[in-house]
C-alpha cells in the first residue's frame, strides 16, 4: 500500500518483500526483529510510579524465537548499512562492531532493563540516546514493544543521509514511518501481523491528515524536503 509518494507499507512476510529488490537497493535498514524473549504481550499493570505502568496487550507469540540466518543474509544483501535493534540477541549472525547504540529509557527498575541496544554496521563509536519510556504511556499504544517516534528521528539525524532509501522489515507500530514522513525520507516497510498492519496504517494516515490540516502545501513541501 502506497501511503504517500515516499512511504510504501505492505502486509506480508519480510522475506517476500526483500526478494523483490536487487543487491544494495536500500541505503539504510532500520529494523526491530523479535528478540525471542516472549515480550509479545502483557497484562495491564499500574504502579505507584507512572513510568512503570503497563497497558494490556494480547499475547500473539511472535516473539518466541529470533529470525533465521537467511533473514540476516537477505537484509545484508538488499541494504548497504543496517541498524538492528536487539542486536545483542543476534550476535551469532552479526559481525563485531564498535558502533552500538544504547537507548536509555529512564526506568531504573530492578525488574526491567535500563534500556535497549542496537547493533549498527557503521564505522563509528557507541552512542547513547536518552528518551524516557514514560512518554509512551501517554499514547494509545497498540503494540507491546512500540518505540518512540523521537527515537527514530534521532537515528535518521545521526545515521541517514539526504536522499537515502530506508527499509524496515518489522513495522510494528509504525513509529519509523511517521519519522520518515516528517523528515521526507523514502521508506519501504512491511508488517506480517494483520492487526498491527491495519492499526499502523490508521496511525500513520491520521498523523499525515493532522499535519496537512496544520500546514499549507508550501509549508509541507519545505518540511518534507528539509533533510533532502
Note the pLDDT of residue 22: 98
In 131-181 the beta strands, taken as DSSP E runs, fall at 165-168
**Do residues 173 and 226 touch, judged by C-beta distance below 8 A?**
no
**Do residues 8 and 21 touch, judged by C-beta distance below 8 A?**
no
pLDDT at residue 45 tops 90: no
Distance of alpha carbon 217 from alpha carbon 223, whole angstroms: 10
**In the chain, where are the structural domains located?**
7-224
Note the pLDDT of residue 109: 64
Distance of alpha carbon 154 from alpha carbon 150, whole angstroms: 6
- Express each pLDDT in 125-167 by its tens digit: 999 999 987 666 556 676 778 899 999 999 999 999 999 999 9
pLDDT at residue 227 tops 70: no
Question: Is CATH 3.40.50.150 what the domain over 7-224 is classified as, yes or no?
Answer: yes
The contacts found for 96-101 with CB under 8 angstroms, 24 or more apart, are 97/121, 97/122, 98/123, 98/124, 98/125, 98/126, 99/123, 99/124, 99/125, 99/126, 99/127, 100/126, 100/127, 101/126, 101/127, 101/128, 101/129, 101/155
Note the pLDDT of residue 60: 67
Amino acid at each position: 500500500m502506497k501511503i504517500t509518494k515516499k512511504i510504501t507499507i505492505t502486509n506480508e512476510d519480510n522475506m517476500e518483500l526483500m526478494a523483490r529488490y536487487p543487491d544494495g537497493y536500500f541505503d539504510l535498514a532500520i529494523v526491530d526483529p523479535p528478540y525471542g524473549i516472549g515480550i509479545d504481550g502483557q497484562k495491564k499493570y499500574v504502579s505507584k510510579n507512572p513510568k512503570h505502568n503497563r497497558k494490556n496487550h494480547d499475547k500473539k507469540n511472535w516473539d518466541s524465537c529470533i529470525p533465521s540466518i537467511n533473514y540476516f543474509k537477505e537484509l545484508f544483501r538488499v541494504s548497504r548499512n543496517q541498524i538492528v535493534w536487539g542486536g545483542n540477541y543476534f550476535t551469532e549472525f552479526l559481525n563485531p562492531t564498535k558502533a552500538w547504540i544504547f537507548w536509555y529509557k529512564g526506568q531504573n527498575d530492578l525488574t526491567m532493563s535500563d534500556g535497549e541496544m542496537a547493533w549498527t554496521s557503521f564505522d563509528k563509536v557507541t552512542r547513547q540516546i536518552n528518551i524516557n519510556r514514560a512518554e509512551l504511556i501517554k499514547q494509545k499504544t497498540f503494540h507491546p514493544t512500540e518505540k518512540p517516534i523521537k527515537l527514530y528521528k534521532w537515528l535518521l539525524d545521526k545515521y541517514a543521509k539526504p536522499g537515502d532509501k530506508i527499509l524496515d522489515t518489522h513495522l510494528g507500530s509504525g513509529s519509523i514511518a511517521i519519522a520518515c514522513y516528517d523528515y521526507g525520507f523514502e521508506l519501504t516497510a512491511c508488517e506480517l501481523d494483520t492487526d498491527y498492519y491495519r492499526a499502523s496504517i490508521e496511525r500513520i494516515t491520521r498523523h499525515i491528515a493532522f499535519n496537512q490540516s496544520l500546514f499549507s502545501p508550501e509549508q509541507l513541501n519545505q518540511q518534507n524536503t528539509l533533510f533532502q
